[in-house]
Structure 1
Amino acid sequence: MTNDHKIKAVGARIRAAREAKGATLPGGKLSQEAMALALGKTQSAVGKWEATGGITIKSLHDVADYLGTTASELMGGTAPADVPRDPGEPLNTDALAMALTAFADAGGNDRKDLSSSQHARAIAVLYQLAAEMVADGNTGEDVESILAGDVDRVIRIVRLDGPARP
């Protein structure tokens, strides 16, 4: 799948999540306009996200929170369910974006046999590393460089750790 198709797929997942949430509401529908109003955006912004997949990381997280999903799921991955998230402490979206990018850039052969739960745990570990480095004042380039070197190690650890525990 080309990058253009991957980006447009994000838009399709946003639309599907909006429609799924709408099905649970009285009247069975959540319009672009209603979602835009709830997010403090315009209907044309929501339409653009759904049509093109062109959305900022911050808006993607806002949309995911509103729709009851995760940015990772909207991007086509699995949710980093093991990431501890204190309700009073917002998710560090920069760190998550760096973790997802590092994992996505890892060699496909190294991660192709991982289960969905192992994918989620690997992303969660990378997120924790990135969040700690960002909190310690490291720059984005430094964090990305360090994460790129840690992906293979994290994948090996997750693989050795076995399937997710209940």
Structure 2
Amino acid sequence: MSIDYKKALELLKTEEPIYYDGHLKRKVTGVVWRRDVGALVPRLEVLDEETHSISYVGLDKVDLAEDVRIENPDGSEVLKACYRMEDIIDQIKTSIAYERGAGAAEGYVRLMREAIKLDKSICDFAIRESDKKVLETIKAGQDLSGEEIAREDAALDKRIEEFEEESL
């Protein structure tokens, strides 16, 4: 689906979230007209929630947040990947117990392949969950105040320091 420039101007005023290429964008911050081979082409300037940056996107690839169905991030794919890995680990343990090195090596390769799938499942789960929370926050009109942002930043800095101390 795409939008026209009138809808783009409306989005600029209402600050509704949009989706571009499957990624949630916080809001439209500007409509920019660019000259392109004898024509003026409108592009949206949007605030990217994931990278906290501005992106310029074409109107033809923009979806309204209400038109995009967000799957319920129930984590079922993540759990399935975890169970598959547990089965493979059990097979590796059995191979080691019966001194079958080739079976353990084969199991290790399968385990790494499943770990890659698990990584993708967890990332997809986290993104869907994050998008859902952002939309809920926006719909509820509960934008964070400056004080709340400062508290969140301080808490994050503290967690980063603790992590760095533990990893040393």
Q: Which interval holds the TM-score relative to the shorter structure?
A: under 0.3
Decide which structure has greater helix share: 1
Which protein shows a greater Rg? 2
TM-score, scaled relative to structure 1: 0.23
TM-score, scaled relative to structure 2: 0.23
Decide which structure has greater strand share: 2
